[in-house]
Amino acid sequence: MANERIYNFSAGPSMLPLSVLETAAAEMTNYHGSGMSVTEMSHRSKVFQDIFDTTKADLKRILNVPDTHEVLFMQGGATFQFAAAPLNLIGKTGKADYIVTGNFANNAYKEAKKYGEISLAASSADRNHCYIPKQEELKLNADASYVYYCANNTVFGTEWKYVPETNGVPLVCDMSSNILSKPVDVSKYGIIFAGVQKNMAPAGMAVVIIDKALAGHELPYTPLIMNYQTMIEKDSMYNTPPCYTIYMLGLVLKWLDTMGGLTGMEKVKAERAKLLYDYLEESKLFKPHADKEARSDMNVTFRTGDEDLDAKFVKEATAQGFVNLKGHRSVGGMRASIYNAMPVEGVQKLVAFMKNFEAANA
């Protein structure tokens, strides 16, 4: 089975650990002697409740979530949270600050404008989002209900290397593409949310980690399904949760433990990223998109400067078993997404392929 797998550099949905897929396959028709698949279980059954409780407890433990915060599993992906966050939080002052460092932050900014007075605290659009603004460049308002940013910009390949200081204003962060890749201080955040389809599970869900003090102040027309207070009270089961995705997240978390948890992941992540960026630094053919100090360890964006050559690279890479390397249309070129499940070996082989390609096309 392992021999048939290829190196999948997709930005998401993306690779899951092989052992996780094998466990899921083995348990597909009869989960732990229950006589049924997890996909067939009532979400109110004891057997599913155990899966749910264990997954939630493991996530809390691994991310070191303090008791002030609650973990929610919500359908609708990360985009659902672009509406849920303002609907739940903006009522305090009617205002919020948004930092736009990529297209997903921009989507969140556009969505939030429907619900209040939104200030653009900073934007990196002037250089096609190849950098992250510095703390002193952020124009933050003391009366904002919250400050919003996106920790890792999947499309452009930039990543925040610091947590913005907001002087007590709650921080809302989209961590979709770098959650679980390194330890984070959850206590610094009002809300962390993440679509699960990169580092956590199959698509169809977002993990939301919320400071419980922020819930219960939603705008009156907030749909119940988007209401954090309802979801906290119902322990994410106001309606049917994405049961199978939660189960898969549970398997991924068990795998993460075997990899040394978040400090283990941080080490591997640094190793993978160094391999690619060191080569991009020395390459005469490939140029990285992101400024050096803003480079993402999860999404590596680069190009040759010649669209035909980029296309040739993607085609030849695909033929060699390195797939999904075509960059997003707003950046062009290539993007190698190297999330938690990508083995170091996959990046070593990709770099070797890139070196050969460079030699052949110099």
Residues forming the site for ligand PMP (CB under 6 A): 12, 77-79, 104, 150, 154, 174, 176-177, 195
Q: How many CA atoms lie within 13 A of 70 on its CB side?
A: 16
SS3 of residue 7 by DSSP: strand
Q: In terms of DSSP bridges, do strands 117-123 and 158-159 run parallel, antiparallel, or are they unpaired? A: unpaired
Q: What is the dihedral of CA 177, 182, 188, 192, to 10 degrees?
A: 30
Between 152 and 304, whose beta carbon lies closer to ligand PMP? 152
In the complex, what is the shortest distance from the CB of residue 195 to ligand PMP, in angstroms, rounded to a whole number? 3
In the complex, what is the shortest distance from the CB of residue 206 to ligand PMP, in angstroms, rounded to a whole number? 6
Burial class from Cβ neighbours inside 10 Å (0-12, 13-18, 19+) for residue 328 reads: middle
Q: What is the DSSP letter of 214?
A: G
Q: What is the dihedral of CA 14, 51, 65, 272, to 10 degrees?
A: -30
In the complex, what is the shortest distance from the CB of residue 153 to ligand PMP, in angstroms, rounded to a whole number? 7
Between 65 and 179, whose beta carbon lies closer to ligand PMP? 179
Between 88 and 154, whose beta carbon lies closer to ligand PMP? 154
In the complex, what is the shortest distance from the CB of residue 45 to ligand PMP, in angstroms, rounded to a whole number? 27
In the complex, what is the shortest distance from the CB of residue 323 to ligand PMP, in angstroms, rounded to a whole number? 17
Nearest to 279, CA basis, from 344, 350, 333, 178: 350
In the complex, what is the shortest distance from the CB of residue 72 to ligand PMP, in angstroms, rounded to a whole number? 15
Between 195 and 333, whose beta carbon lies closer to ligand PMP? 195
Between 13 and 94, whose beta carbon lies closer to ligand PMP? 13
In the complex, what is the shortest distance from the CB of residue 316 to ligand PMP, in angstroms, rounded to a whole number? 26
Between 31 and 148, whose beta carbon lies closer to ligand PMP? 148
SS3 of residue 63 by DSSP: coil
Contact, 139 vs 191, CB < 8 A?
no
SS3 of residue 249 by DSSP: helix
In the complex, what is the shortest distance from the CB of residue 204 to ligand PMP, in angstroms, rounded to a whole number? 8
Between 85 and 280, whose beta carbon lies closer to ligand PMP? 85
In the complex, what is the shortest distance from the CB of residue 318 to ligand PMP, in angstroms, rounded to a whole number? 21
Contact, 150 vs 173, CB < 8 A?
yes
Between 196 and 256, whose beta carbon lies closer to ligand PMP? 196
Q: How many CA atoms lie within 13 A of 298 on its CB side?
A: 30
Which residue bears the tokens 């962390």?
A: 192
Which contacts (CB < 8 Å, 24+ apart) does range 233-236 have? 236/52, 236/72, 236/73, 236/74
Between 106 and 229, whose beta carbon lies closer to ligand PMP? 106
Q: Which residue is nearest to ligand PMP (CB)?
A: 77
Q: In terms of DSSP bridges, do strands 158-159 and 152-153 run parallel, antiparallel, or are they unpaired? A: antiparallel
Helices (H), the chain: 18-26, 46-62, 77-89, 103-112, 228-233, 243-258, 261-282, 307-319, 344-360
